[in-house]
Structure 1
Amino acid sequence: MSNTKFPKILITGATGQVGGKTIEFLLSNKEIEIVAAVRSKEKAIPFANKGIATVILDFDDDTTHLPAFEGIDRLFMVTGYTVDMLRQSKVLLDNAKKAGIKHVVHLGACGPDDATVGHWVWHQLVERYVEWGGFSFTHLRPQDFMQNLLSYGSEKTTNKGVLNAYVDNARLSWVDVDDVAQVAALALSHPELHSGKTYRLSYDAKTFEEIAELMTSIVGKPFRYEPLSPEIFLQKMKDAGADMAYMNCVYDHWKQHANGTIPGASDTFDNFFEITGKEPTRWADFIKKHKEELVY
C-alpha cells in the first residue's frame, strides 16, 4: 500500500461555471486530491455523489476559513461579483497564509496592468495582495466569456434570433469558459511550470454583428444583433437590487466599449497552445458546440 501524499487542491466557486469545469479537468489527474468548497451541506451533495471531497467555506465567515484550509496545498480563488471581493480576498488570503497554502491561482478579469475599468482594477489589487503574501501564484485574466452569448446573469442573451448587448458595435475579444478552466487546471496541477505567470486569455475578436452572421450560417436560422443602451442595463440592475458599487463599474465599461475608449479591447493572445498543447476555441467552434442551445 502506497503512502504517497498527493497535493490537495481546494476549488472555490466550485458550483459555478469556471470552478465546475476546472474540477472536470482535474479529475483526470490521479496524482492530486480535489476538494470542492461549498457554502452548505446541501450544495455538497452533488460532489459527494461523484466521490469528490467537500469542505464548508464562506468568504464572509472567516471562522470557516482555517478549518477548510486544513491540509490544503493549492488554492483556486474565485471571488464574487461585488465590491466585497476586496475585503473577502484579503481576509481569505491572510488565512490561507496562516494555513500554509503554497500556490494560489486567482481568477481575475480583463486588461493590461494599467487597466482603469473599476472591477478590473479591483482584481488587479487582489493579484498584488496575493504576491505580497509570498505565495507562489498564477494570475488568470480572461476577456469576455463566449458563454455570455447564451446567457448573462439570469437572462438569455439570444431570444428568437435576436442578440442584445450594451456595447453598440464594438469589437471585443472572447474566450470559452472551458479554455479558462483548462488553463486553471494545469496551473493548479503543475505550479512549477506556471508560477509567476499572468495569463491573459482571449483568442477570437468579433463584433456582435459578426457573431450573428456566423450563427446564421452555422445554426441555419436567421440571427441579428440589436444593440441596447447601457442605461437599460443600469436600470435593470437597480430594479433587481444588485450591488451597485460593482454594477456601476460594469455599466461604465459597457459605455466605454460602446464609445470605443477602452484600449486593446479586441486584443487576442497566442499563449493557449504553449500552455495546453491544444488550439483554443474560436467562435465557429463555440457555435457548433452549442448549436442545439441556439436553435429556436
Structure 2
Amino acid sequence: MSNSKVPRILITGATGQVGSKTIDFLLDNKDIAIIAAVRSPEKAAPFTAKGIATVILDFDDESTHLPALQGIDRVLIVTGYTVDMLRQSKALLDNAKKAGVGHVVHLGACGRDDTTVAHWAWHQLIERYIEWCGFSYTHLRPETFMQNMLSYGGKKAIENGIVHAYVEGARLSWVDVEDVAQVAAVSLAHPEIHAGQTYRLGYDAATFDEIAAMMTTIVGKPFRYEPLAPEVFLQNMINAGAEMAYMGCVYEHWKRYAAGTIPGADDTFDNFPVITGKQPTGLADFIEKHKTAFDY
C-alpha cells in the first residue's frame, strides 16, 4: 500500500454512470485523493477542468495498468458489457496486487450466491478472485438499474407512454444508480467499516404494469406496458453489432425472467440506511425525479 498520507482512490469507469456519480459523492471528502482512470487524453479533459487528477488506463492494454496503479491505495473496478470483463478484471487485479493496492470495491451484478445466470456468475467468479488475491474488498451487487427506464441500449426505453421490456409480467428488484454510487463511495472512503462485505443493492420491487400505473399517476398522462419477446432484444443486439457472448447471456436471462425461473428476482434489502445513513430511492421517487424525461 502507498505510504501517502492521504489515501489515493482510483475510479475506473469514471466516464460511466456509476463511476462518475461515485466521483461526485467523493469530491467533498478532503481525507482522500481521487484519481479518474480514462482511456485517452481527450476523455481526461472534463476531469482536469474540475481539478480531478487522471491517469490513462485501458483494460485491454496491460502496459497501462501498472503506471496507472502506482501509489493507489483503493480502487473501484467497473468493467464493460463483454465477456472480456473476465480477462480484463484478472489482469487489472494481478497488476493491482503488484502495485500494492489495498482495498478493492467491485461493481458486480444481481443475484444470489447460487445464481446460474451466466453473466451474473462471471461477476461472482471475479469476486472470488479478488478474495483469493488477498485484497481487502467490498462486493457490490446492484439489481436492475432504474435508469434503464430512461434509456436502454442507447435508445429511449419509454416513448409516447408505451413501456417496453422483455420480461412479460415478471416482478423485478430495482435500484437507482445514484444509490449504487453512494454505496461505492462510502465503501471506498471507509474500507475499515465495509471490508469483507457483499452488498446486494435493490430497494423496490415492481412489475412493468405496476410501473406504468405509477407513471400514469405521477406524470399525469397515460402509460401502458407492452411486453416484447426476448427474441426482439436478441435481434436488436445482432443488428447493432454487439458482443454476442455477453448479449447472448442477457437474452437468456430475459427469457428466464419472463418464465419466472430466476429465484429471488424481486429480492429487496434494508441495508442502505445502515451503509449510508440515508433512505434509498423508491420507484415513485425516481419517477417523480425524472418526470420531465418521462413526459410526452
TM-score range, shorter chain: over 0.9
- After TM superposition, the structure 1 = structure 2 runs for residues 71-110 of structure 1, keeping only pairs within 5 Å, are 71-110=71-110
Q: Secondary structure at the match of 1:169?
A: coil
1:38 aligns with 38
After superposition, give the CA deviation of every residue in 1:182-217 in whole Å (9 maximum; x if it has no partner): 000000000000000000000000000000000010
1:191 aligns with 191
Offset at residue 125 of structure 1 (A): 0.4
Offset at residue 4 of structure 1 (A): 7.6
2:170 aligns with 170
Offset at residue 147 of structure 1 (A): 0.3
Q: Secondary structure at the match of 1:258?
A: helix
After superposition, give the CA deviation of every residue in 1:55-106 in whole Å (9 maximum; x if it has no partner): 0000000000000001100000001110000111111000000000000000
Separation in structure 2 between the aligned mates of residue 179 and residue 154 of structure 1, nearest angstrom: 22
Structure 1 unaligned spans of 5+: none
Letter in 2 for 1:167: V
Q: Does 1:293 align with 2:289?
A: no
Offset at residue 295 of structure 1 (A): 1.0
Aligned residue pairs, count: 294
Separation in structure 2 between the aligned mates of residue 288 and residue 50 of structure 1, nearest angstrom: 29
TM-score computed with the length of structure 2 as normaliser: 0.98
Q: Secondary structure at the match of 1:238?
A: helix
Separation in structure 2 between the aligned mates of residue 240 and residue 178 of structure 1, nearest angstrom: 28
2:130 aligns with 130
Letter in 1 for 2:92: L
Separation in structure 2 between the aligned mates of residue 32 and residue 135 of structure 1, nearest angstrom: 19
2:249 aligns with 249
1:210 aligns with 210
Letter in 1 for 2:146: M
TM-score computed with the length of structure 1 as normaliser: 0.98
Q: Does 1:67 align with 2:45?
A: no
1:14 aligns with 14
Offset at residue 137 of structure 1 (A): 0.1
Q: Secondary structure at the match of 2:140?
A: strand
Separation in structure 2 between the aligned mates of residue 158 and residue 28 of structure 1, nearest angstrom: 35
CA contact (8 A) 2:4 2:71 kept: no
RMSD value, Cα: 0.9
Alpha carbons of 1:33 and 1:207: their partners in 2 closer, same or farther (altered >3 Å)? same
Separation in structure 1 between the aligned mates of residue 289 and residue 104 of structure 2, nearest angstrom: 31
- After TM superposition, the structure 1 = structure 2 runs for residues 214-229 of structure 1, keeping only pairs within 5 Å, are 214-229=214-229
1:159 aligns with 159
CA contact (8 A) 2:147 2:176 kept: yes
Separation in structure 1 between the aligned mates of residue 233 and residue 81 of structure 2, nearest angstrom: 16
Alpha carbons of 1:74 and 1:27: their partners in 2 closer, same or farther (altered >3 Å)? same
Separation in structure 2 between the aligned mates of residue 4 and residue 142 of structure 1, nearest angstrom: 32
Q: Does 1:47 align with 2:47?
A: yes
